[in-house]
Amino acid sequence: MELYVTPGDELPLYRQIVRQITDAIAGTRLKPGDRLPSHRDLAAQLVIAPLTVKKAYDELEQGKLIETQRGRGTFVRQELPRMRARETRDRLRGTAQRLLSQAALSGVPFADVLDLLEELREGMQS
Amino acid sequence: MNVLEFDGICRAYTTGVNVLDGVSFGVERGQVVGLLGKNGAGKTTLIRIAMGMLEPQQGHVRVLGLDPRRDAVEVKRRVGYVSEEQILPPFLTVGRIVALHRRLYPTWDDEMAGGLMERFELPAGTRVKNLSKGQARRVALLCAVAHRPELLLLDEPASGLDPAARREFLEMSIQLLNETGTSILFSSHYMTDVERLADRIVMIHDSGVLLDNGLDELHEGFSLAMVPRTNGMSHERILGLPHCIGVRERPGAYHAILRLAPFEAETEVQDGLGTAEAHCQAIALEDMFVELVGGRS
């Protein structure tokens, strides 16, 4: 799997790595049991600081997407968490945050935001 | 113990005008710190103080727990140093310079030196005076790292190099980080290089440390707020916001940097200034630099 990171992007480098590996697992370009390069090798390959890759791996490990087996390397986990739900949630977060901040700035109470969502959902169903 | 420790460093050139006035920060083992600041902010002065080439008028510096002036030889053996205007003896050949360095450093790694000679395509028989600027810098870099230093101090190591040569330099630094666990303090005006190599940023401005944060914190915990220049809005009012660290007047709007993620910043600006017109967003390192040190004071 090829990764490509862009310094100067709005997303910090470690998040770019997290996102790309997450996408690769979601899109099955990376399968359970696949081996990832060591964080040092990946750092050399991407020409970024090893600590940055380490941070990305730590985050992926926390999200239970990958695991490090002592002395053997880092692998995509055999049993993945409910990937799609997780990923969707991450993506929705940004949109939801913008919605909430707009509501807050316009003085719309949270209950009204929920009503609005409910209304929209009913609209979608009918 | 930190591999490098600046404690209350003061240094003036003209009496009464401190270039550095009470600068304190440390570098942990294995950490890579990017030292940012405008030209003349004192980055070079600070690095020279760490090398023992200058003495602070107040404050203390510790390098690997040692005093760089009293323990000069040991510090130089365990530290690598490259500066922008480093001068290599012009009539010596590359091979001779490398051989001289080899004798000075007990920990010199022939394999690494040979590998870099090859990777940098350095002509061993050529005299320094006949090298291009890029080649000369590569020789200086090789000599600074082939003894596998515990700490690398780099003062604008890539200035004037083309993008390919800068990338080589980054690759070499990462090799050193990977294999030796070297700690690095480097100054640079190339923000993409800084983002690639650094995990922490120290920004020097107005003789002091303006920012000292993880690179990712700068990305995710800081924002730019653009506040329209309406009646009653002022520089001082915005600077009075609890998390505001800098304001710049731009045509049409004030640009403020807040130590908050964009969503939280929006709330603070809204509540603190009573305007719903302000827009807050994440900010790239280069823009953060310009906003904080460009056109303040």
Mutate to test the interface with B, among A47, A53, A106 (most CBs of B within 10 A): A47
User: pLDDT by residue for chain B (297 residues), tens digit each?
Assistant: 899 999 999 999 877 778 999 999 999 999 999 999 999 899 999 999 999 999 999 999 999 999 999 999 999 999 999 988 778 899 999 999 999 999 999 999 999 999 999 988 999 999 999 998 888 989 999 999 999 999 999 999 888 788 988 998 899 999 999 999 899 999 999 999 999 999 999 999 999 999 999 999 998 999 999 999 888 899 999 999 999 999 999 888 999 999 999 989 999 999 999 888 889 999 989 999 999 988 644
Query: Could you tell me if A51 lies within 8 Å of chain B, comparing CB atoms?
Result: yes
Total-model pTM: 0.84
pLDDT, position B297: 40
DSSP chain B: --SEEEEEEEEEEETTEEEEEEEEEEE-TT-EEEEE--TTSSHHHHHHHHTTSS--SEEEEEETTB-TTTTHHHHHHHEEEEETT----TTSBHHHHHHHHHHH-TT--HHHHHHHHHHTT--TTSBGGGS-HHHHHHHHHHHHHTT--SEEEEESTTTT--HHHHHHHHHHHHHHHHHH--EEEEE-S-HHHHHHH-SEEEEEETTEEEEEEEHHHHHHS-EEEEEE--TT--HHHHHTSTTEEEEEEETTEEEEEESS-HHHHHHHHHHHH--S--EEE---HHHHHHHHHSS--
Q: Residue with structure tokens 């590569």?
A: B138
Under an 8 A CB cutoff, do A105 and B171 touch?
Answer: no
Query: Could you tell me if A49 lies within 8 Å of chain B, comparing CB atoms?
Result: yes
Query: Could you tell me if B216 lies within 8 Å of chain A, comparing CB atoms?
Result: yes
Q: Rounded to an integer, what distance in angstroms lies between the CA atom of residue B21 and that of residue B10?
A: 4
Q: Identify all chain B residues contacting A40, using CB atoms and an 8 Å cutoff.
A: 178
Q: Identify all chain B residues contacting A97, using CB atoms and an 8 Å cutoff.
A: 263
Residue B276 has its nearest CB partner, among A43, A97, A105, at A105
pLDDT, position A126: 53
Query: Could you tell me if A96 lies within 8 Å of chain B, comparing CB atoms?
Result: no
Under an 8 A CB cutoff, do B178 and A50 touch?
Answer: yes
Residue percentage of chain A with pLDDT more than 70: 94
Q: Could you report the predicted ipTM of this complex, rounded to two decimals?
A: 0.83
Residue A11: pLDDT band by 50, 70, 90 thresholds? confident
Under an 8 A CB cutoff, do B267 and A104 touch?
Answer: yes
